[in-house]
Amino acid sequence: MTTTRRKFITTGALGGAAVLAAPAVHAQTTPIKWRMQTYAGAALGEHVCKPAIESFNKIAAGQMEIELYFADQLVPTSELFRAMQAGTIDAVQSDDDSMQSPTEVTVFGGYFPLTLRYSLDVPVLFNQYGLKQIWEEEYAKVGIQHISAGSWDPCNFATRDPIKSLADLNGKRIFTFPTAGRFLAQFGVVPVQMPYEDIQVALQTGEIDGVAWSGITEDYTVGWADVTKYYLTNPISGAWIGHFFANQDRWNEVPDHLKELLRVCFDQSHYYRQWWYWGGEADLRVNGPKLQLTTIPAEEWAQVETAATKFWDEIAAESELKAKVVGIFKKYNETMTKAGAPYRY
């Protein structure tokens, strides 16, 4: 039989094209499993980390699964970096300062004194002012993938006794971040470091006098408002800088589509905290029944702001990279100040 042109097109060319177009599909039989530890205890972790991990595991649909652990469950918070670098833990949610990262940028993690006014300052600095690239490069040097940065709450004092002047800070034993403690020591604060889960009992027994670790939302959420009486409205910083990190080798093993899913879920986590903290801070200041608000007068608090500027310059003098980061902070704050309300008042 003679093959007609029409028959060739319908049975040969199109049929062959259909076969060629069908790609080979290789099923992933063994899911990738990660262990992640957050700096946050269980009560706080319900908000700052768990929803993102649950979303990721659900969407990953068996291709990858993250097991989430809360503060100090696998290793102490101060050992998170080393555990992640060694591969004992695959990923971490923390600030640089608390997990004592051996990088040039660690001092800027957590609460860098009086640098940030609002939570939106953090993503702008990272995505529009170059901090993202700096953090990625610094962590790549030590075998860690910096995945993303976001903001948390402001940093204020919650104390057993009222703070109404700088003199009231003298001798107070305060649980706080290493860099914040270094800064506050000049005002007589005695910085204290201890396991996160021990803080509430230490406050209750008087082993420590207060915390400068969070805003008022966190004080209520984790139970610190139950064992303190006063909340100082003057902020040490307007926003905490926290991150998601991963062991570089484990990150490299993840397919690109799951890497993108991790980024999307972590970005959603950052967004969640933006509104959760922003609304919570205002509501609990006004309607919270447990903590009485105190304020150091603006003219006296100006001494702290002046000291912060000097502190930035001291940090900048330590290295070329630190000077670069401080320069970015200064440029950003100058822009915000010139822009006026609502950026700066």
Which residue ranges make up each domain of the chain?
32-152+240-284, 156-238+289-339
What angle (nearest 5°) sits at the alpha carbon of residue 78, between those of residues 325 and 195? Answer: 125
Average model confidence (pLDDT) for the chain? 92
Mean pLDDT of 231-249: 97
Architecture field, domain 156-238+289-339: 3-Layer(aba) Sandwich (3.40)
pLDDT digit string (tens) for 9-41?
A: 344 444 444 344 444 444 456 899 999 999 999
pLDDT exceeds cutoff 80 at 163: yes
Count Cα neighbours of 10 within 13 Å in the Cβ-side half-sphere. 5
What angle (nearest 5°) sits at the alpha carbon of residue 150, between those of residues 176 and 263? Answer: 135
Q: Is 239 helix (H, G, I), strand (E, B) or coil?
A: coil
Q: 32-152+240-284 with 156-238+289-339: one CATH topology?
A: yes
The confidence score (pLDDT) of residue 28 equals 54
pLDDT exceeds cutoff 70 at 4: no
The confidence score (pLDDT) of residue 197 equals 87
Q: Are 34 and 90 in contact (CB under 8 A)?
A: yes
Fold of 32-152+240-284: D-Maltodextrin-Binding Protein; domain 2 (3.40.190)
Record the pTM: 0.88
92/146 Cα distance (integer angstroms): 10
